[in-house]
Amino acid sequence: MAERESTVAHGPEHGLERMIFFSDAVFAIVITLLVIDIHAPHLPFGSPDRDYWISLINLGPEFLGFFISFFVIGFFWAGHHRAMSLASHYSPRLIFPNLMLLASVAAMPFFTAFASANPMMRVPIFCYCAWLLVAAVLNRRLQAIVTHPPVVSETASPELIAVTRERGTAVVLGSLTAMAVSLIVPWLGQVALCTIPLWRLALRRFAGRPR
């Protein structure tokens, strides 16, 4: 009986679930923290309507940064969810890479606030894209562990494993592209993240797989 309880306590039903639940909680908290850096404008009582509208318009960069990072973190969560769905065996090797990925994601509100408070400036946007590259590399490292034995499920199809790795690599290449673009044309740095789907298409064609 003791042996059976020990197996369950350290098996995939326990270890993987705890790690996934913890990761989901971190993603949820981080994505919520993004809005905290958007401070509601406070105007003197009796201020004209025009001043209120102007104060809201001035928050445009903060709202733009919020939406960009909201979807960036959301896509990282989706990728994490997709990769973990391929796992069926717990391994201690998952813990540190997963924590490193969560740490990089947890720092995103800071870099979002830095870039939003200094719109179109080279250093803040470069730092944002560079940190996104760090998160993408850590994400790809975790995917590599999850999609290889002994963690990956025996029933996971090779096609799905290849697509998961391909997505992670495309995020790395797209973030690297955005970082390079931010050095040349700062205001296009975050826009260059839109190249991620193009990188996915290029990787798929390079591998000789159909769309």
3-state secondary structure 123-136: HHHHHHHHHHHHHH
Sequential pLDDT tens for the chain (211 residues): 444 433 344 444 578 999 999 999 999 999 999 999 898 999 999 999 999 999 999 999 999 999 999 999 999 999 999 999 999 989 999 999 999 999 999 999 999 999 999 999 999 999 999 999 999 999 999 999 999 999 999 999 999 999 999 999 999 999 999 999 999 999 999 999 999 999 999 999 988 766 6
Is the overall model pTM greater than 0.85, yes or no? yes
Cis peptide before 150 (omega within 30 of 0): yes
Cis peptide before 61 (omega within 30 of 0): no
Domains of the chain: 2-206 (1.20.1410)
Q: Are 196 and 170 in contact (CB under 8 A)?
A: yes
